Structure 1
């Protein structure tokens, strides 16, 4: 695979990332002779391409500026000839010539559409070098799209391992955002594969990594996988379980109707010294009520109010519905009256549930 070496801080593919700060580009005066096959592929040209061909002919089939190279790569992209674009990039890299960042944004999008894994990783790598920081969400999604129709992840894992071993200050953010992009494109198997590989790499998964994957598994209804990952997280000495970890799993269990596990996990959390918050109480109270354990559900509801954690309309309605189903209409009526007499300012609103399970990475 490609690596990175440094000559006057010029990125050259062939090893690992070096420092991304204060990168300078190589001078563009170097010329590269176009091969016959490259010339032959320039067909069906428009007015802009005719100008390029004329210039190439006037210079003895040589390109002499970064603009020429940029135009040629863009032509290959428009024609869908991504293999030729990749070969040209390799030639330019050997001569320490870097193209504008916009070229790689376009190539990454095209590679994602055509499921070109090799070019996708190459363009993504170049964008990281030139930007020196996490890229836009669309860049990560384009990278993930290139792998939708394949199980071959050699290029992907090689790229991510390079990131892990690099000196990029944002390398963990890059890995975490890559995981989220693969989750968004419904490639859960690759999410789990990346996580497992990270455990062996220099840049280890952190609590954000684990919590994000737990959330992904919970949303997909993969409860057993979520519980296995939670157990694995407990064994990882590099991370600690926190309130977001427990809330994520509690919510996943509740949605999957695994009410039996909710109280077990809740008790584990409390015994571990983590105080439940609004999200914790909401998940466990609803789960207990729906499982028929109304007594414990009401006890936690009272405890929640005693701790001055404002309940939401949802919690009230869930309890009222459960009481009606159990035949306790008197208690249901009492709670209904209590809800009517409670001002909106004393109730938790949607904004109180917006504790992000996933990082925004807006830096």
Structure 2
């Protein structure tokens, strides 16, 4: 009847006596015989709503067995929350696994809590690890650590999988010392995690440049019969490159080849990128050729890294030749390639060529992204053409792109340099209205611009606001502000700024020093004289222009 009649709930009690339907054995048999889990759950929910029927533990367990088959986690959680029964452990464990696979980590933790309250039951270590893994997968490291403490309290110290999850959780929280401590504790008990756990910790230590600890960990790893994988060495090389230790990265790279390892494409890409960044283009080309001969297909990204490297050292002809070679190999022109070319031309002050490439891109139906607009805006700003930069900014808005902090910062600086501080402040306010957080240097540009335009009061107010917001002004900002205050005979304010400047570890430029010295000599202010004795007598606090050039 429940299979064939859409509205069987309205007639079932009239066709079967309650003494039969409400029998616990009958309920269990109906659930067992029905292949459709949804219908079984529908029947169970219906009969539980009838007056005179209260399911017992056996009936609850019968329905509870089938729910994980369809990952009905909400229904199962509801049953556990409302029922006063102890589920059979084997089905709870199965349910927890289904729940974890479904991504409902919070519900899985709730099930564990319910499990411990119902008769003092404790899940097996496998189930604990399953849920720890689920928490880690959704980056709930707080739950990983919380559950592990509860796991220990229940009598489980953990196994090699457990320590792996703990190490990964601590590494994600950037608590590398704690991760190393946990590893040491488990190794003392001769519980050894897999290579992945070691690699996660090695990766974190490498990024922070703690290579003495990396070497120590590698030794312990090998001693524990866990041979480093290619990914392990990849993370070490990545850390060395990030910390500008390119020679050491290449030494390990070459040693791997001697030992019979075959470097992967990621290793080649990292090293080529670093060589290009350092301007070592001959070495980068050689490594690129080696990578190609070893079967790694040169793609658009790899070509663009080399092209950008040539632009970086001013070799525009070589960059364009390589770009043509890339196109001849059948790689399609894309927004990425044009971004590299436009950035390269802008970097070298070739704004006419950059705009020509921009127009060519549009003709070919490629839509520039906000990064390309930002590159052109910055190029025009550095070229002293803030008007053209503003035109590009307006075009960016017209096509419906959202500007970023990278869009506004060069505009603010260029406007301030040209003396148009009012417009620069308007641009900063527009940035704030778009919920974009200005970089600290943006405040410096405006203060410096205000000083150069003689607006000493507002520049002083903005400087005080920077300090109040725990932002550190640049050395140039201090020098310009002291110069402006001194010229406007606000010597006490100049003393205040000077004190803050030396506290920040900055030095005073010689022209500003001479101006202060001249003003202080004419001042009868006791505070000014005291400042002269305390600060201007310190020769190491003064930096000459000649010294800067040296």
1:248 to 142, 155, 165: 165
Matches within 5 A, 1:73-222: 73-76=2-5, 79=6, 91-94=20-23, 96-97=25-26, 99=29, 103-106=33-36, 108-110=37-39, 129=62, 138-139=69-70, 141-142=71-72, 144-146=73-75, 153=78, 155-157=79-81, 161-163=85-87, 171-202=88-119, 203-222=121-140
1:239 to 144, 153, 156: 156
Equivalents in 1 of 2:42, 2:207: separation in Å?
A: 45
- Residues 250 and 265, structure 1, Cα contact 8 Å, conserved in 2: yes
Matched pairs, number: 254
- Residues 205 and 214, structure 2, Cα contact 8 Å, conserved in 1: yes
Seen in structure 2, the aligned counterparts of structure 1 residues 229 and 128 have a Cα distance that, compared at 3 Å, is closer
Deviation at 1:127, TM superposition (A): 10
State which drifts further: 90-99 or 187-196.
Answer: 90-99
- Cα deviation, 1:308-347, whole Å, max 9, x if unaligned, reads 42211110111011011112222211221233344469x9
CA RMSD of aligned residues (A): 4.2
2:248 to 298, 321, 331: 331
- Residues 247 and 280, structure 1, Cα contact 8 Å, conserved in 2: yes
> Unaligned stretches of 5+ in structure 1?
1-71, 164-170, 348-363
Equivalents in 2 of 1:212, 1:174: separation in Å?
A: 15
Equivalents in 2 of 1:242, 1:235: separation in Å?
A: 15
Seen in structure 2, the aligned counterparts of structure 1 residues 156 and 127 have a Cα distance that, compared at 3 Å, is closer
> Unaligned stretches of 5+ in structure 2?
49-54, 265-550
- Residues 289 and 297, structure 1, Cα contact 8 Å, conserved in 2: yes
TM-score, length-scaled by structure 2: 0.39
- Residues 31 and 62, structure 2, Cα contact 8 Å, conserved in 1: no
Matches within 5 A, 1:262-301: 262-301=179-218
Equivalents in 1 of 2:206, 2:66: separation in Å?
A: 44
Q: Which structure dedicates a bigger proportion of its chain to helix? A: 2
Structure possessing the higher relative contact order (Cα contacts under 8 Å, 6 or more residues apart): 1
Q: Which has the larger radius of gyration?
A: 2
1:318 aligns with 2:235: yes
- Cα deviation, 1:105-150, whole Å, max 9, x if unaligned, reads 31x235779996987xx8x9769659xx9769524x13x1536xxx
Partner of 1:224: 142
Seen in structure 2, the aligned counterparts of structure 1 residues 293 and 173 have a Cα distance that, compared at 3 Å, is farther
- Residues 183 and 191, structure 1, Cα contact 8 Å, conserved in 2: yes
Equivalents in 2 of 1:95, 1:223: separation in Å?
A: 43
For the residue of structure 1 that corresponds to 2:3, the secondary structure is: helix
